[in-house]
């Protein structure tokens, strides 16, 4: 990605923990590294093929002047989020909020916070083997699509598959979904869990029948594990009902844990 840099934009506004800061106000300096592809704009010399940094500066000014935040962390979060939401060409923002007059009763140049926010590429696996299977899946996709922090939601074809693990149950409908999101993995997991709850999901039997199951398969090139999430999905290489629809969306989707593409994993699984 190419970078447009806004350096130390000066804004006078009213942010701080102390009441006096909210009343009297103070100077803030905002810097932003804005990541996007400028190749087309460089060829056409047309502002419509890039982003207008003047507009972004005025957006920053409006947000800073029309809000009162206790923390510069909150200001940085709001600014980066709104820039990413309003300018679809921008894929990533690294934004710094400097507070030169921080009231700490000691000499200093400034206090600042820097946040790094971006649209992350994610692949989900959806499955259902109870009730109106297709409706549960379609409703979940629409629920995710309607969330403002998700964009570019695309779904593979639906396939019918035999149950995995506990085989004494009805067949599943499965698909994969590709999207970009501003959420962290855990916040996206909350969204997918809510989609499952919307479908009346009950977790009574491990690998048992379910109205809806939504798993995060890949999240950028993140490798992560805790008591809630494992990314990439720990068993994706053994699941044709995941790999086949994933290959339909992107055969070169890359598993950073194994170093293999979705198409390579699917070929190995079929061969075995």
Catalytic residue among 27, 78, 99, 190: 99
What tokens appear for 231 in the block? 């990314």
Question: 46 pLDDT exceeds 90?
Answer: yes
Question: 213 pLDDT exceeds 80?
Answer: yes
- Could you read off the pLDDT of 83-142 as tens digits, one per residue? 999 999 999 999 999 999 888 889 999 999 999 999 999 999 999 999 999 999 999 999
Q: Among the CATH numbers 3.40.630.30, 3.40.50.10490, 3.30.70.560, 3.30.365.10, which is that of 120-271? A: 3.30.70.560
What tokens appear for 227 in the block? 């008591």
Q: Which pLDDT score is estimated for 201? A: 73
Q: Which pLDDT score is estimated for 152? A: 97
CATH architecture of the domain formed by 2-118: 2-Layer Sandwich (3.30)
Q: Report the percent of the chain where pLDDT is more than 90.
A: 89
Question: 203 pLDDT exceeds 70?
Answer: no
Question: 174 pLDDT exceeds 90?
Answer: yes
Q: Which residues contact 99 (CB under 8 A, 6 or more apart)?
A: 15, 16, 26, 28, 72, 110, 111, 112
Residues pairing with 28 in the sheet: 11
Q: Which pLDDT score is estimated for 169? A: 73
Least confident of 18-22, 89-93, 191-195, 265-269: 18-22
Question: 206 pLDDT exceeds 90?
Answer: no
Distance, in Å, from the CA atom of 229 to the CA atom of 232, rounded to the nearest integer, reads: 9
Average pLDDT over residues 15-40: 95
Q: Report the percent of the chain where pLDDT is more than 70.
A: 96
Average pLDDT over residues 12-21: 94
Distance, in Å, from the CA atom of 198 to the CA atom of 136, rounded to the nearest integer, reads: 9
CB contact at 8 A, 3 and 89: no
Instruction: Count other Cβ atoms within 10 Å, centred on residue 7.
Output: 10
Q: Which pLDDT score is estimated for 165? A: 65
Q: Which pLDDT score is estimated for 101? A: 86
Domain ranges of the chain: 2-118, 120-271
- Is the pTM higher than 0.85? The answer reads yes
Q: Compute, in degrees rounded to 10, the torsion defined by CA atoms 89, 87, 77, 121.
A: -40
Question: 212 pLDDT exceeds 80?
Answer: yes
Round the average pLDDT of the chain to a whole number and report it.
94
Q: Which pLDDT score is estimated for 63? A: 98
Question: 74 pLDDT exceeds 70?
Answer: yes
What's the alpha-carbon Rg for the chain, to the nearest Å?
23
Active site residue 121: no
Distance, in Å, from the CA atom of 62 to the CA atom of 200, rounded to the nearest integer, reads: 42
- Residue-by-residue DSSP string for 75-97: HHHHHHHHHHHH-TT--EEEEEE
């Amino acid at each position: 990605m190419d970078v447009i840099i806004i350096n130390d934009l000066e804004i006078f506004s009213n942010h701080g923990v102390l009441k006096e800061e909210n009343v009297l106000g103070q100077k803030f300096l905002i810097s932003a590294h804005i990541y996007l592809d400028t190749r087309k704009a460089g060829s056409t010399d047309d502002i419509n093929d890039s982003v207008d940094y003047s507009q972004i500066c005025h957006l920053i000014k409006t947000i800073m002047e029309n809000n009162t935040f206790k923390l510069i962390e909150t200001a940085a979060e709001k600014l980066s989020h709104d820039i990413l939401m309003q300018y679809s060409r921008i894929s990533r923002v690294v934004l710094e909020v400097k507070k030169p007059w921080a009231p700490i009763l000691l000499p200093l140049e400034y206090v600042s916070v820097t946040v790094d926010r971006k649209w992350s590429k994610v692949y989900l696996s959806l499955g259902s083997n109870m009730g109106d299977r297709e409706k549960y899946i379609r409703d979940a996709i629409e629920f995710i699509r309607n969330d403002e922090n998700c964009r570019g939601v695309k779904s593979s074809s639906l396939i019918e598959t035999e149950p995995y693990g506990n085989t004494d149950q009805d067949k599943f409908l499965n698909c994969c979904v590709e999207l970009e999101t501003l959420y962290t993995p855990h916040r996206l997991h909350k969204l997918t869990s809510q989609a499952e709850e919307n479908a009346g999901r009950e977790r009574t039997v491990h690998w048992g029948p379910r109205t809806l199951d939504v798993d995060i398969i890949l999240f950028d090139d993140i490798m992560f594990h805790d008591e809630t999430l494992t990314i990439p999905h720990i068993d994706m290489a053994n699941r044709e009902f995941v790999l086949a629809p994933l290959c339909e969306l992107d055969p070169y989707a890359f598993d950073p844990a194994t170093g293999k593409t979705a198409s390579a994993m699917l070929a190995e699984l079929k061969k075995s």
